[in-house]
Every structure is written in structure tokens, then in C-alpha cells.
Amino acid sequence: MSQESSSNVQDGVQQSKDCSRDDKTALYIPKYNWECITDVFVEACKDLELGELLHDSTFGLFEAMSAIEMMDEKMDAGMMCNQTKRPVLDLHTSVDTGLVKVTGLTYPELIGIMDSSLSCMVTWLEGHSLAQTVFTNLYLHDPHKVEDKPLRTFCLCMLKIVDLLRDRINKAGVYEEEDFQPLTYGFKMGGDVTDVKVISTMKEVEEDLNRALRHLKGQVQEGNAESTIEYQQCGAVCTRVKFFKGLLSMLVALSKDKCEGVPQAKKLISQILEFIEPIRSTISLGIVPEDREITKNDYPTIMGFDPLINQRLLPPTFPRYTVIHTREDAISYVKKLLHRIDTATAVLNASNIQEVFEVFREFSDTSPCVVSRSILQLMFLPPSRKVFGVHTLTDFLKDSVRAFVMPPVLSPKAHTSISVEVKQYVDSLMTRAVRPICTVLQVLGHNRARQRDKWAHLLDDLVTLQDEADKVDGYLHQVQMKADPSHQLGSSFGTWVLYYTIHVMLAYTLSGFELELYAPYEYHYVYWYLYELLYSWMYSTIQRAESFVIEHEAYIANTQGGSADDFQIGSEGDHSVEGARVRKKLKLKKREWISAETLQSIEERREEYTSTNMNFKQSVRADNRNNLVATEEDDAAHRSKNNDLHFINKRIAGKYSKPEMPLRDMNVRVGVM
């Protein structure tokens, strides 16, 4: 039996605590007291017949597959350490042997370590594990052992950044296994130091570097060539310290309650973006890996990094080879990430669900990364489950319904709002609408490939909500007829729910093109379905919502003391915010800046479009009818049915009258019908 194994086997094996010292390598190598059980196992299996298996309730299929995979070089990721000839050393052993420095690091070494750490973090954010990316940096295993102040502070800052990113992504819950791996493998994430302490320490390091820069600048002015190179290297380190300090400060600001830190985060994003190009231009100043053999499991790294250091921590599964991003790609990724986060802050300008939905949909179309998607989700709905950390979900949905269809039931001065029972009906519907409407936004936060299946499951919930909304509309209609029979209420809540249901159906259908699920011969079916059904329903729904707004505005203005101002949202009083975008083409008559001539031109174009569209549909129907009739004619001629052929020819000629058919009366006399 091999004397190397995965860590999962070591728990059940008696091992000695004694370690011997190898004089050649001067390394402490642990020794294990393995006991071979092969003979015992073979002897126990003699009692089993051919094809017979021994089954235990605590040893099922999962355990059996794990047992088969363990210690297999092709199946167990932890066994990849056996395929390298060099020793794998931890931080303490590396320091003792002098392979890793913890004090007196030069500027090129600091630049290389910072840039490589950023590359590892970016690789982790793209779906790889922490053990194979970020924590290949040995300094992060125990930052307090590092005596060099800039490096120690940087390590603590990096741990805080990783911890905040992991916390944001976990709380948002919009990632899949291919997007992100949240496991920390038991590593400490700098919990013994607060975020504020780390930021203040980074500021102290920045001040120290600025003093060093001023000193080196004086030597450069004296004409010292060596000082010129050192001045550039010191400036590059200072820029990176400012960059990582700003990145940590931005994440801390975004984690504040009620989105209070978003304005500060936007300012920090602008400052961080200014450091991108200086960092990119000084990447070459850092140390680079030495040239040596490259394999799938091992690759050259700089001082303080080892790709196999955490290989024993991985579960016994298929090896997943991790390719660390280059330093140039990493800084480009961070630049795009910052721009996406800045774009996500636009959701705070939304005043209702419709505007939030538009922001989420446009953001999802850009295929953003898991970090920016998570931050957008938490901006809208933080862990407190209040919109922007302030408004309750039910109140926010009510404001959205007011803005979209303006139902009189939500007006304080309308007759139907007087009844307590009516209020309970509406509140119950809004409470039930919270989950499916929020799920719509959450689905938009997942990656594009996963959204299609989630849209399909969401349609079931929206159909149930649609039925409940129709029932509420029916009940409100009955109450309204008793209070004021001269005015009938439309299906306001049903129209509002139908609007989002159609959007989900459109998203589900269109995602098939993006995922290349449709065959070419299916395109005309799909396009017909989109044009004749979904977009047609969407247009009629928007028109119906517009007509409801006009009718309800007039009704509220004519009721006792009522006015359209009853639908003011917040302090702005704009009751048409939700419908402004989807009804802007239908409300031109309310725009004071549009002249009468322009309105007349618009109406003429609408009439022309309606007439052309009608003629087009009639032509299509006629072609379809003639095609079907001609097909029937061919079939009749093929069957030699002259009578059927005669009737078909008359239909083609436009003679639809029935032929005179002879009838027989009860006395068997022939008559004419």
C-alpha cells in the first residue's frame, strides 16, 4: 500500500507524532505507521459467492463511489501531489528553509506578490476554488507571521476583500456551481482584525511610501540613475496600496444598510479606475516566475506561491485544472467589474417595480459577472428584505400598481376603499404577489444559461397569481356595482400581473435563440408565435392599462373631493412614473409640447399602418385559403371524385351557395330544396 494518501483517509489511520529529519533536504518529513489489510480483506471475501455483495445501511452508493475514487491518481484530486518531484512546503517550513522571505522584501517582490494575488482572486471569481487560487499564496495562510509591514497589511487587506466578496455573493444567492465556489476550507479570513483597522493601516503604509517617494525624488533630481528605477518601483507599490485600499473601502461602503454607502462607493469607483492604467503600465516592474517544467498539476510561480499547497484539502473528486489569469487579464477584469458595479447603482433611481425590472433586464443582457449581479440584487433587496433597505415590499408593489393602472381601490377617497374587507382582499393579493415578482428579479440575476429553466418554473407561480388577481378584480367589480352602478371597474390587478407574465413568456421564448435551441425549420413557427401572440398580447395589455388610467383619472376627479393627486408616490407626486416608459407612445395627446400638426401626422400614420396591416392580414388569409383549397382539389382529382372536384372549383370561383339537392318526402316523391 502506498505511503501517500488523501487527507480523507488520514483521519482513520493511526499515525505517529514523531518526525524525522532528512539531512539531504533539511526538511521535516512526517512518517506514518501504515498497516496492510489486503490479506485480511481477501480472507473475508472468501465467504461471498460470485456476484454477491455485502451491503450495510451506513455504506451506500455515495460512500462506495467515494471509496473507489480515493487514492486514484485519475479520480482523486488530492493525489496530484504525488506526481511532482519537488517537495510541497507550507509557510512556516518555507520560512525556516529560507525559500520564502517575511522581512526586507524589495519593491519588485512586493509588486509581483500583489499582482499575482489579484490574478488568483480574479480566477476564484470565475468559478474556481479558493484552495486552488487565492490561498496558493502562502502569506495569506498566516499574515501575522509576516514581519514586513507593507506585505502584512496587504495580506490582511486581501483577506478582507475576499471575505466581503464571498459574503455579498452568498447573501444574494444568484450563483450556480459553475459561477462560484464559496467554500473556505477552514482558512481564517482575518476575522481578528476589523475592516476599519485594516483600512487605517493601509493608509499608514501609503503615508510611509509617500515619504519614501519624496526622499527618492530628491535623489533623482541629483542625477542618481539607480534612484530613478527605485523611484518608479516605489511609486508602483504606492499605487497598488491605494488601489487595494480603495477596493476594500468600496466593498465596505456597499455593505452598509439602507444603501447609505452607495454615493461613497461611486466616488471610490471613480478613484480606483484612475489607478488601473498606472498599474497596467508597471506590471513589468514586478518579479516573474522562473522557467521550469510546466504540467497540468504544477506550474512555475514566484516566491510565496505554491499551486499544490492545498491539494490535500480538495475532496476526492475528478481533478479540476486551474489556469490562473495573467496579470494583464486580471487588471482588465477588475476594470470591467468596476464599470458594471457603477452601472448597477442606477437601480437606486427607480421608483417602482417596472423601472427596477427594466434595470435588471438591461443589466442581464450584458452577461455580467457573479459579483456585479450579486451587488445589484442586494442594492434592491438587502438582507433586511426591504426595498433599498427602507420600503416594505407590499407598499412598493402597491405604488407600482398605482402607477401602472391607477385602480380606484387604492385611492383613499374612492368608494371601494372604504370597506375593510376590500382592503383585506387587496392586501392579501399584494402579499402573495411579493414572492413571484421578486423571483422574476432574482431570475434575472442568474447567468443567462440558467435563466431559461427558471423562467419555466416561474410561469406556474404567475399563473396562480393571475387567477387570484382575476378573482380580486371580480370581487371589486361587484362591490363597485353596489356603490355606483354607473361606473364599472376594469381588471386592473389582472392586467398588472398579465404584464409581467407576458414578459416572462417572452424571456423564455427569446432565450431559445440565445442558447441555440431552435432548429432552422422552427424559426418561422417561433416568429409567428412571437408576433401573433406574445407581442400582440403585450401591446393590448399596455393599451388596456392606458385606458384604465384615463378612465380612473376621470372617475376619481368626479367623485367626492377626489383627484388624481390621490395617487402620488412618495414626495414626488408623479403617478405616471411606472407607465411612462411603456405608455409613452400612447400618451402623446397629454404632451403639451407636441403641436397639433404633429399630432395629426401621428394619427394619419397610425391609420395608414392600421389599414396596411389589415390588408396584409387579409392577403395572407386569402393565400392560405387558396393553398388549402388547391390542395383539396389535388386530393380530390387524385381520388377521382368528380363531385368533390366540382364543389371545390365553385369555392375557388367565389360561389359559396349550396347546390340544389333533391329530397324525398314521406311518400317517396322527389322534390327540390
pLDDT over 70, % of the chain: 71
- DSSP state for residue 20 in the 8-state scheme: E
Mean pLDDT highest for which of 43-47, 498-502, 623-627?
A: 498-502
Per-residue confidence (pLDDT) for residue 409, from 0 to 100: 81
| pLDDT for the residue numbered 633 | 53
**Count of beta carbons in the 10 Å neighbourhood of residue 13:** 11
Q: For residue 320, give the 3-state DSSP assignment.
A: coil
CA 352 to chain centroid: 21
Contacts of 205 (CB under 8 A, 6+ apart): 149, 150, 153, 154, 241
CA angle, corner 493, sides to 488 and 499, nearest 5? 120
569-584: burial string, b at 16+ Cβ within 10 Å, e else: beeeeebbbbbeebbe
Q: How many residues does the chain have?
A: 673
Q: Dump the DSSP string for 433-501.
A: HHHHHHHHHHHHTS-HHHHHHHHHHHHHHHHHHHHHHHHHHHHHHHHHHHH-TT-----HHHHHHHHHH
The predicted structure's pLDDT at residue 298: 63
Strand-pairing partners, residue 29, are 20
Domain chopping of the chain, boundaries: 7-83, 91-338, 391-580, 596-662
Q: What is the pLDDT of residues 528-553, one digit of tens each?
A: 999 999 999 999 999 988 888 888 77
Question: What's residue 587's pLDDT?
Answer: 41
More confident residue, 438 or 417: 438
Alpha-carbon gap, residue 338 to 658, rounded angstroms: 75
pLDDT band at 297 (very low <50, low <70, confident <90, very high): low
Distance CA 520, CA 608 (A): 33
Which residues are CB-contacts of 35 (< 8 A; sequence separation ≥ 6)?
14
Distance (Å) of CA 649 to CA 625, 631, 638, 645, 660:
13, 12, 15, 6, 16
| 51-55, 319-323, 378-382, 628-632: range with lowest mean pLDDT | 628-632
The model's confidence at residue 186, banded by pLDDT at 50, 70 and 90, is confident
Classify 140 as helix, strand or coil: helix
Given this model, what pLDDT does residue 653 score?
45
Structure confidence by residue, pLDDT tens digits, 399-409: 899 889 888 88
Taking 90 as the threshold, does the pLDDT of residue 119 lie above it? yes
Instruction: Give the pLDDT confidence of 30-57 residue by residue, as tens digits.
Output: 677 888 888 888 888 888 888 887 777 7
Least confident of 51-55, 80-84, 159-163, 270-274: 80-84
CA-atom Rg of the chain in angstroms? 36
Angle at 384 between CA 381 and CA 388, to 5 degrees: 40
